[in-house]
Amino acid sequence: MSLSVSSSRTLEADVCVIGAGAGGAVVAAELAEGGARVVVLEQGPAHDPGTFTARPPEMLARLYRDGGQTTTVGTPPILLPLGRGAGGTTLVNSGTCFRTPPAVLDRWREDFGLDLDEAGLAPLFDRVERALSVAEVTPELAGANAAIARRGAERLGWSHGYLRRNARGCVGSGVCVFGCPTSAKQHTGITYLPRAAAAGARVVTGADVRHIDVRGGRARAVHAHLEGGGRLEVRAPTVVVCAGTIHTPLLLARNGLGGASGQLGRNLALHPATAAFGRMDEVVDMARGVPQSFYVDEFAAQGIMFEGVAGPPGYAAMSLPLVGEPHRAAMADYRRLAQFGLMVSDASRGRVRSLAGRPVIQYGLVEADVAKFRLGLARLEELFLAAGAREVLLPLPPGVRPEHARARDLKLMAFHPLGTARAAARATDGVVDGDLAVHGVEGVCVADGSVVPSALGVNPQLTIMALATRLAFRLLERRTDFRPPTAPPPEEETACRS
């Protein structure tokens, strides 16, 4: 699928797409199938699933940017793992699929003047979900870890359900975030990107974009350095930047684009998250089944969502909030450990800047979000105890109870960076307009998490893909020589195998 470019050369295209993740692969496929000549430049490699080992340290090193060790600067520091390569973070996420909550769309209309509503987006979500074989996880496939959370939620009378995921023929290998060894997870690297290539798009991996050439107020070309040592110029009147929420603002800033509003690189939301363990009497074998298969949304209105999380012993050992002998004892009991996660829809906002060419991610947790963690951890403990846990291991320092936790006590990770090139109708409020075109320049658009104007409270991949689909359609509508996007994507078998 990847075009091999071994020496310096120039390509001509209608659209150059930078990045092949949740936004880039989707926009490339829809444009190419609509008749546009597309070149995709992806910085990372195209990973061969035949080489996946299901072993966390090795796969973290290979599939993640910076080995999954990207960390924010602030209180507390937050680990922010990002995927790298064809598929981007969809290659290493848990596959959870939510549509944008209608209340969030209402807020975007009010605060940012965006013409987005549930009915208008529904056909786009339908299209994306068909392409990704999105279906609800079955209880059998979800495994014992999910069954424990379900038991707790039922006993407490809390709202809950099985998650919808982009998986096809899943057998519950338990290592979604370390590279699916069965290729069941329908990430964009094995769904949209091959469709783009089949429709004639040229996909270049190992292409590090250095410069977006804008002259006379409009895009002309993109220049990249190739992994093999050559240079590539893509001459295209339209450039779609899809480098992700952390790197898109840096690329735009380096090229003097999108900075007029003062919002570029700002407004970073992360959905900070943490997880607790329960020590159960029953055998759980948490990595048997779909790690993220169940949710509890009882406290969603308060910005708190519980979602499943689990993994093999190496992963669990790394996450356990214990050291020394207590850690050894808990790991000796690994088969009876259950784990569940807590994600916060954050009011905190961070900023991405460049220091010596590398991103520096500043993000401090505001008191309102610390309060959500206090409440969330107390409720998570309640959930485990209701499910029959004989001990709950909370991610807090020894002796600190949830109600007394301070920001610096929290052990957090985040998986959903959003907002650093946010969309807003007015040029003073955002980096891109409602059609995702960069304000003040012709032919440069953005389609990744950076345009999402606020925290969603749910996993964002479908929102990013629906917005990317919408952008592709808008671009196609403007060109009379492109085919209209009437054909639905290929019908896929939905449903996970249980």
Partner 1 sequence: MSAGLDAFVAAGPGPLPVVLRTLLAVARRPRGRALLDRAPRIQAAVHAALSLGRYDDPAVSRALGWDADAIVARGRALRRAEGRP
Closer Cβ to partner 1, 280 or 441, answer by number? 280
β-sheet with 207-215: strand ranges across: 9-12, 231-235, 218-226, 207-215
Give whole-number Cα distances, 262 to 86, 250, 296, 347, in Å.
Answer: 31, 13, 38, 20
For position 60 contacting partner 1 by CB under 8 A, the verdict is yes
CA angle at 83 for the pair 82 and 88, rounded to the nearest 5°: 125
Distance CA 494, CA 297 (A): 25
Minimum CB–partner distance for residue 253 and partner 1 (Å): 19
Under the criterion CB under 8 A, does residue 7 sit at the interface with partner 1? no
Judged by CB under 8 A, the chain residues 270 through 309 that form the site for partner 1 are 285, 287
* Long-range residue pairs from 345-348, CB within 8 A, at least 24 positions apart, any chain: 345/271, 345/303, 345/304, 345/305, 345/372, 345/455, 345/456, 345/457, 346/269, 346/270, 346/271, 346/272, 346/303, 346/455, 347/303, 347/455, 348/269, 348/270, 348/272
Q: How many CB atoms lie within 10 A of CB 43?
A: 23
The one-letter amino acid code at 32 reads A
Please pick, among 47, 187, 247, 416, the residue that the annotation labels catalytic.
416
* Smallest gap from residue 326 Cβ to partner 1 (A): 11
Q: Please, which residue, 62 or 470, has the CB nearer to partner 1?
A: 62
58 binds partner 1 (CB under 8 A): yes
Name the minimum Å distance from CB 442 to partner 1: 35
In the sheet where 15-18 sits, what is the strand order?
Answer: 202-205, 38-42, 15-18, 238-241, 444-446
- Choose which of 320, 424, 444, 455 interacts with partner 1 (CB under 8 A): 320
Name the residue nearer to partner 1 (CB basis): 80 or 418: 80
Give the one residue of 8, 10, 12, 61 binding partner 1; rule: CB under 8 A: 61
Q: Which of 54, 378, 425, 427 binds partner 1 (CB under 8 A)?
A: 54
Q: Verify whether residue 416 is a known catalytic residue.
A: yes
The answer to whether 384 touches 424, Cβ cutoff 8 Å, is no
Stretch that binds partner 1, among 46-54, 106-114, 198-206, 291-299 (CB under 8 A): 46-54
Residue window 357-376: x/- pattern of binding to partner 1, with contact defined by CB under 8 A: -x------------------
The count of other CB atoms within 10 Å of the CB of residue 4 is 9
Within 8 A by CB and 6+ apart from 293, the residues are 137, 141, 142, 143, 146, 162, 163, 165, 308
Using CB under 8 A, which of the segments 31-39, 65-73, 235-243, 262-270 binds partner 1?
65-73
For partner 1 (CB under 8 A), the number of binding residues is 50
The 167-186 contact track toward partner 1, x by CB under 8 A, reads --x-x-xxx----xxxxx--
Residue from 199, 253, 317, 400 touching partner 1 (CB under 8 A): that is 317
Taking a C-beta distance cutoff of 8 angstroms, is the pair 331, 314 a contact? Answer: no
Q: How far apart are CA 308 and CA 174, in angstroms?
A: 12
Residue selected from 4, 323, 478, 486 as contacting partner 1 according to rule CB under 8 A: 323
CB of 122 to partner 1, least distance (A): 29
Among 35, 45, 49, 230, interactor with partner 1 by CB under 8 A:
49
Segment 178-237, which members bind partner 1 (CB under 8 A)? 180-184, 190, 194
How far apart CA 364 and CA 74 sit, in angstroms, is 5
* Residues near partner 1 (CB under 8 A): 49-50, 52-58, 60-62, 64, 66-70, 77, 169, 171, 173-175, 180-184, 190, 194, 285, 287, 312-320, 323, 327, 331, 334-335, 358, 397, 411
Catalytic residue IDs: 416
